[in-house]
């Protein structure tokens, strides 16, 4: 009797600990759990499942406090006891292994705890070595940060406590009995009474409409009609997070060895990094039979646990449709034993929402997250930590949909909750700071974003040891912002620090490596180092393919990045091949009106435009525009970028009035969308100024271009390539006005910046040299002009294939100067080489072909007629920087 009263008291302490934990009083909860553990250890005098459950509760509470290293030790001790005393496949073993693998995966050391056999050899060729997923296309039609739609760190959120309250004190010589229906009914009844007795605080004000409760979950309506598995876009890494716990504080006490009721465990938000951790648990558990269901309602609990474990494993492998089926099974089993909208259902709603989100079905996802939030507000105080996590999930979806102000409001609500419950230096606060920074970055508020990311880094450096995977994430976040500010060297240093830390911490290359390689590729691409950038992108792609099938959306983004470098090098066919592969993947994975499908259409349109296939390019742009206008709210920057691209087509076709109309529409959107200023505003101003120049409206053009230059100087450090582009445009206007001194001055400034910013053989250096050559020719300084053009030709011949049109036009410039210098044989040689290229590219009626033939005829006539009456040569000089695309800035 005394012994039974003693162990009964331990169970009471455990239940009080659960209540304290649900009220976020983690220190108090730990005290109760530790008292219960000491009593059990004294009582059992050896390993016992009851002791393991107390160890689990302590581990979960430490995890809630962000003390993952300490938490890991308790979970590992519990697992050893479970594996010693329980049969293989027992739910406690599965749950314990799942928690441990989540923590280890977060540390990138899963392979150390649970070694895996090497993956089979892949058939694709080896990509030589070259890394949070900011995987954004450098020519993306969307904002550079949606490029990052990566909401990286969400708070750790562990499963339900191993409640020992639903236990009977069994006789040492009598076996345990299964749950009875009466126990289950008693448990549910007390739980509901407890919930009703608590005051229901008012929920915080939300701007969203109230979303009515969803109908019973019908998986057939959620599945895509496509046969391919819907995959996730990883530009948005979501956080690690564990399932929710439920209070069982007012329940009768059955046997101390009877397993406790657990809520379903939700998927981690970052599937790429965690999917391995979920492959193991799925092997140990088997579904309960229909006979068990009929005989024992408690078997529904097994169904919930099993279905959630299956769903989590599928989710983290990117198999979202299949995961939804299992979450639906868990929800159906849950509704059979719990009241409608019971607290434990909130986590299943959240998991269903995440699965919908990763299929691009954002409205359905939002509905389930809102329903989860309603349930949480009903059972918890409005400032409960679970509500903060759900608010983050809602914010992620609103951000992807372009509702940035609403998303920021949700992130601030979550931040306020965490600020009340946690210390200012708690790890969960850093999660909110990262989320807020992501929106500020999208809005172009780079200083504000950098401030938040730096605060998050400071918190992580205080909490963790110096080398930790979360610190590497912060390095990557800061590096990405510095890159947005044009501080490429400093940004590259941060990404390298992240990579070094990842290499030190990780046994194998995980997806976090891919993110860092990708970020470094972006910087190299911005610096014009396209070969090195492509090596980084290919390395990133290889890592992703080791985790995912070739049809995953993360692979599509990598293909876009590789295509961008090929397009920058004018390897259009190869670029187009990569863009089309990315389009096919997205078209299978997402609904047809998804913004990522539009991004692929825009990239294909850009390539066709560069190939001067303007009609085809415009068709792709218009398809993308229709999608953007249906997907985003009016006034989104992606719509403006698409309008800008169509304006470029009109400009290239010399339809200047229509081009101006598109450019002005784009500018109006950009100015509203980016209240802090943005380079895309400057790009639109440059486009307008350049078009006005061709309409000979030089004063208006100069005003627009000077505004653009001021924006570039404000946003970028001195010496940035965008400043050089703006200087070049202003030089062109002065040249058209025959103000050669000013034109030469601006052009020289642009050349100096480009020579310092880019490699020696970069195309933009050649462009500045050609423009200087043209101005010097008009000055009458033919020798220096010839020198500039020949330097430009040498670069163009290294950059382009021999039959490229830019090489032909540069040879025409050189031929013009030689002709004026009466060096007729040399001029004739240049014109004939140019004509050979033009005839390979164009029909015989093309203006370039006709002009070059006329020049050749003029020289031949002059050679045949020494009096020189056959006419003077006609130059075909042009300014290379004649048009601008926002994605090139």
On whether the CB atoms of residues 318 and 231 are closer than 8 A, the answer is yes
Please give the span between the terminal C-alpha atoms of the chain, in angstroms, as a whole number. 80
If 0-12 CB within 10 Å is exposed, 13-18 middle and 19+ buried, where does residue 239 land? buried
Q: What is the mean pLDDT of the chain?
A: 76
Residue 24 half-sphere exposure, CB side, CA atoms within 13 Å? 18
Decide if 20 is inside a domain.
yes
Provide mean pLDDT across the span 569-582. Answer: 93
Say what the alpha-carbon torsion angle 26, 27, 33, 39 is, to the nearest 10 degrees. -170
The dihedral through the CA atoms of 248, 254, 256, 260 has a sign that is: negative
CATH number at residue 589: 1.25.40
Identify which of 782, 779, 757 has the alpha carbon closest to the alpha carbon of residue 768: 757
Q: At what angle do helices 427-442 and 469-484 cross, to 10 degrees?
A: 20
Question: Is the predicted pLDDT of residue 218 greater than 80, yes or no?
Answer: no
Q: At what angle do helices 824-841 and 805-820 cross, to 10 degrees?
A: 160
The dihedral through the CA atoms of 28, 29, 32, 33 has a sign that is: negative
C-alpha span between 642 and 625 (Å, rounded):
6
More confidently predicted of 412 and 314: 412
Decide if 479 is inside a domain.
no
Give the DSSP per-residue string, 12-39: HHHHHHHHHHHTT-HHHHHHHHHHHHHH
In degrees rounded to 5, what are phi and psi of residue 359? -100, 5
Question: Is the predicted pLDDT of residue 191 greater than 50, yes or no?
Answer: no
Question: Is the predicted pLDDT of residue 492 greater than 80, yes or no?
Answer: yes
Decide if 606 is inside a domain.
yes
**SS3 at position 293:** helix
Structural domain span for residue 82: 1-86
Provide mean pLDDT across the span 797-804. Answer: 86
Residues 6+ apart with CB under 8 A from 160: 243, 244, 245, 246, 260, 261, 262, 263, 344
On whether the CB atoms of residues 733 and 689 are closer than 8 A, the answer is yes
Mind spelling out the 3-state secondary structure of 815-870? HHHHHHCCCHHHHHHHHHHHHHHHHHHCCCCCHHHHHHHHHHHHHHHHHHCCCCCC
Confidence of residue 180 (pLDDT cuts 50, 70, 90): very low
- What are the tens digits of pLDDT across the range 265-284? 334 333 333 333 333 333 33
Lowest mean pLDDT among 164-173, 397-406, 446-455: 164-173
Provide mean pLDDT across the span 357-364. Answer: 86
Backbone angle region of 639, left / alpha / beta, with phi > 0 → left and psi within -120 to 50 → alpha = alpha
pLDDT at 93: 85
Decide if 48 is inside a domain.
yes
CA 744 remoteness from chain centre: 43
Residues 6+ apart with CB under 8 A from 370: 208, 211, 394
Lowest mean pLDDT among 10-19, 36-45, 116-125, 492-501: 116-125
On whether the CB atoms of residues 290 and 303 are closer than 8 A, the answer is no
**SS3 at position 168:** strand
> What is the Rg, in whole angstroms, of the alpha carbon atoms belonging to the chain?
32
Question: Is the predicted pLDDT of residue 715 greater than 90, yes or no?
Answer: no
Provide mean pLDDT across the span 494-515. Answer: 86
C-alpha span between 66 and 155 (Å, rounded):
8
Q: Where are the alpha helices (DSSP H) in 507-655?
A: 511-526, 530-547, 553-568, 572-589, 595-610, 614-631, 637-652
Confidence of residue 106 (pLDDT cuts 50, 70, 90): low
Identify which of 373, 404, 366 has the alpha carbon closest to the alpha carbon of residue 389: 373
Provide mean pLDDT across the span 800-805. Answer: 86
C-alpha span between 41 and 56 (Å, rounded):
14
pLDDT at 777: 92
C-alpha span between 622 and 642 (Å, rounded):
8
Say what the alpha-carbon torsion angle 240, 243, 246, 251 is, to the nearest 10 degrees. -130
pTM: 0.64
Confidence of residue 803 (pLDDT cuts 50, 70, 90): confident
Say which DSSP state 265 is in: P
Decide if 595 is inside a domain.
yes
pLDDT at 582: 94
Q: CA 202, 206, 212 angle in degrees (round to 5)?
A: 85
On whether the CB atoms of residues 628 and 595 are closer than 8 A, the answer is yes
On whether the CB atoms of residues 522 and 562 are closer than 8 A, the answer is no
- What are the tens digits of pLDDT across the range 40-77? 988 888 888 889 999 999 999 988 877 878 899 999 99
Number of structural domains in the chain? 2
How big, in percent rounded to 5, are the helix, strand and coil portions of the chain?
A: 70, 0, 30
On whether the CB atoms of residues 254 and 167 are closer than 8 A, the answer is yes
Using CA atoms, how far residue 598 sits from 592, 639, 642, 658, in Å, is 9, 10, 10, 23
Question: Is the predicted pLDDT of residue 149 greater than 50, yes or no?
Answer: no
Q: At what angle do helices 320-337 and 299-316 cross, to 10 degrees?
A: 160
- What are the tens digits of pLDDT across the range 377-413? 888 767 788 888 999 999 999 988 888 889 999 999 9
Identify which of 260, 671, 662 has the alpha carbon closest to the alpha carbon of residue 444: 671
Above pLDDT 90, what percent of the chain?
42
Identify which of 791, 848, 861 has the alpha carbon closest to the alpha carbon of residue 819: 861
Of 28, 58, 86, which residue is a domain's last? 86
Lowest mean pLDDT among 81-95, 354-368, 595-609, 817-831: 81-95
Confidence of residue 835 (pLDDT cuts 50, 70, 90): very high
Question: Is the predicted pLDDT of residue 171 greater than 50, yes or no?
Answer: no
pLDDT at 845: 66
C-alpha span between 448 and 440 (Å, rounded):
6
C-alpha span between 413 and 832 (Å, rounded):
70
Question: Is the predicted pLDDT of residue 706 greater than 50, yes or no?
Answer: yes
CATH number at residue 69: 1.25.40.10
Provide mean pLDDT across the span 667-683. Answer: 90
Of 86, 116, 147, which residue is a domain's last? 86
Decide if 776 is inside a domain.
no
Confidence of residue 676 (pLDDT cuts 50, 70, 90): confident
Lowest mean pLDDT among 208-217, 251-260, 607-616: 251-260
Long-range contacts, 780-789 (Cβ 8 Å, 24+): 782/817, 782/820, 782/821, 785/817, 786/814, 786/817, 786/818, 786/821, 789/813, 789/814, 789/817
On whether the CB atoms of residues 293 and 305 are closer than 8 A, the answer is no
Provide mean pLDDT across the span 556-575. Answer: 93
Decide if 109 is inside a domain.
no
Decide if 44 is inside a domain.
yes
Mind spelling out the 3-state secondary structure of 482-526? HHHCCCHHHHHHHHHHHHHHHHHHCCCCCHHHHHHHHHHHHHHHH
pLDDT at 312: 84
Residues 6+ apart with CB under 8 A from 446: 440, 481, 484, 485, 715
pLDDT at 225: 35
C-alpha span between 184 and 166 (Å, rounded):
9
pLDDT at 437: 95
pLDDT at 137: 34
Of 61, 86, 111, which residue is a domain's last? 86
Confidence of residue 752 (pLDDT cuts 50, 70, 90): very high
Using CA atoms, how far residue 46 sits from 50, 51, 81, 501, in Å, is 11, 9, 10, 41
Backbone angle region of 627, left / alpha / beta, with phi > 0 → left and psi within -120 to 50 → alpha = alpha
CA 214 remoteness from chain centre: 29
The neighbouring-strand residues paired with 255 are: 168
Above pLDDT 70, what percent of the chain?
73
Say which DSSP state 401 is in: T
């Amino acid at each position: 009797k005394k012994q039974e009263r003693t162990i009964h008291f331990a169970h009471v302490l455990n239940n009080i600990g659960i209540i304290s934990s649900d009220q976020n009083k983690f220190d108090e909860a730990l005290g109760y759990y530790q008292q219960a553990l000491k009593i059990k250890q004294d009582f059992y005098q050896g390993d016992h499942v009851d002791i393991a459950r107390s160890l689990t509760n302590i581990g979960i509470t430490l995890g809630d406090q962000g003390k993952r290293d300490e938490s890991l030790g308790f979970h590992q001790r519990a697992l050893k006891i479970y594996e010693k005393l329980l049969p293989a496949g027992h739910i406690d073993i599965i749950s314990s292994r799942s928690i441990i693998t989540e923590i280890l995966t977060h540390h990138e050391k899963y392979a150390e705890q649970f070694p895996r056999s090497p993956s089979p050899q892949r058939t694709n060729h080896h990509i030589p070595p070259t890394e949070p997923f900011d995987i954004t296309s450098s020519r993306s039609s969307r904002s550079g940060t949606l490029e990052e739609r990566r909401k990286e760190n969400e708070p750790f959120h562990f499963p339900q406590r191993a409640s020992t309250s639903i236990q009977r004190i069994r006789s040492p010589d009598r076996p345990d009995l299964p749950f009875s229906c009466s126990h289950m009914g008693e448990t549910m009844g007390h739980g509901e009474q407890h919930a009703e007795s608590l005051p229901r605080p008012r929920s915080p004000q939300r701007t969203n409409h109230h979303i009515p409760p969803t109908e019973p979950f019908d998986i057939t309506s959620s599945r895509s009609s496509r046969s391919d598995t819907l995959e996730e876009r990883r530009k948005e890494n979501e956080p690690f997070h564990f399932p929710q716990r439920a209070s069982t504080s007012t329940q009768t006490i059955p046997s101390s060895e009877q397993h406790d009721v657990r809520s379903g465990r939700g998927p981690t938000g970052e599937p790429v990094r965690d999917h391995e951790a979920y492959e193991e648990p799925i092997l140990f558990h088997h579904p309960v039979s229909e006979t068990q269901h009929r005989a024992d309602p408690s078997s529904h609990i097994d169904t919930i646990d099993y279905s959630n474990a299956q769903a989590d494993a599928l989710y983290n492998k990117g198999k979202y449709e299949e995961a939804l089926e299992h979450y639906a099974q868990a929800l159906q089993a849950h509704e059979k034993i719990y009241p409608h909208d019971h607290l434990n259902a909130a986590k299943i709603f959240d998991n269903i929402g995440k699965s919908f989100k990763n299929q691009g079905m954002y409205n359905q996802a939002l509905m389930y997250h809102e329903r989860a939030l309603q349930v949480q507000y009903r059972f918890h105080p409005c400032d409960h930590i679970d509500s903060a996590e759900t608010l983050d999930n809602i914010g992620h979806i609103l951000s992807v949909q372009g509702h940035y102000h609403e998303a920021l409001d949700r992130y601030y609500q979550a931040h306020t909750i965490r600020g009340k419950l946690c210390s200012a230096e708690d790890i969960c606060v850093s999660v909110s700071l990262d989320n807020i920074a992501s929106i500020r970055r999208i809005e172009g508020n780079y200083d504000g974003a950098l401030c938040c990311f730096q605060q998050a880094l400071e918190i992580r450096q205080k909490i963790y040891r110096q080398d930790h995977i979360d610190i590497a994430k912060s390095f990557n976040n800061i590096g990405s912002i510095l890159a947005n500010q044009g501080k490429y060297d400093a940004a590259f240093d941060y990404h390298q620090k992240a990579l070094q830390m990842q290499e030190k911490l990780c046994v194998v290359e995980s997806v976090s490596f891919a993110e860092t390689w990708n970020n470094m590729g972006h910087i190299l691409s911005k610096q014009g180092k396209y070969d090195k950038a492509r090596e980084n992108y290919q390395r990133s792609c290889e890592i992703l393919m080791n985790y995912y099938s070739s049809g995953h959306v993360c692979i599509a983004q990598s293909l876009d990045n590789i295509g961008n470098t090929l397009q920058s090098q004018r390897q259009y066919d190869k670029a187009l091949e990569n863009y089309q592969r990315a389009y096919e993947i997205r078209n299978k994975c997402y609904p047809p009106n998804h913004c990522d499908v539009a991004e692929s259409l825009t990239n294909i349109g850009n390539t066709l435009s560069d190939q001067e296939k303007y009609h085809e390019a415009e068709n792709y742009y218009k398809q993308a525009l229709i999608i953007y206008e249906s997907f985003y709210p009016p006034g989104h920057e992606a719509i403006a970028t698409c309008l800008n691209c169509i304006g470029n087509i009109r400009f290239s076709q010399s339809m200047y009035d229509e081009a101006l109309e598109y450019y002005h529409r784009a500018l109006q959107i950009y100015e509203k969308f980016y209240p802090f200023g943005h380079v895309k505003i400057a790009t639109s101003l440059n486009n307008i100024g350049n078009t006005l120049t061709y309409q000979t409206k030089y004063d208006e053009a100069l005003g627009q271009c000077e505004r653009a230059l001021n924006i570039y100087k404000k946003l970028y450090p001195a010496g940035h390539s965008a400043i050089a582009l703006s200087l070049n445009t202003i030089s062109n206007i002065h040249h058209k006005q025959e103000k050669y001194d000013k034109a030469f001055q601006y052009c020289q400034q642009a050349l100096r910046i480009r020579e310092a910013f880019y490699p020696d053989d970069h195309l933009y250096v050649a462009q500045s040299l050609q423009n200087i050559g043209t101005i010097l020719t008009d000055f009458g300084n033919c020798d220096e002009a010839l020198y500039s053009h020949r330097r430009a030709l040498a670069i163009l011949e290294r950059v382009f294939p021999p039959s490229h049109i830019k090489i032909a036009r540069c040879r025409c410039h050189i031929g013009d100067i030689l002709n004026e210098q009466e060096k007729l044989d040399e001029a004739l040689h240049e014109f004939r080489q140019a004509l050979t290229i033009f005839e390979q590219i164009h029909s015989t009626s093309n203006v370039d072909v006709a002009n070059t033939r006329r020049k050749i005829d003029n020289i031949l006539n002059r050679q045949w007629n020494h009096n020189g009456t056959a006419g003077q040569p006609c130059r075909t000089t042009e300014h290379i920087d004649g048009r601008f695309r926002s994605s090139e800035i």
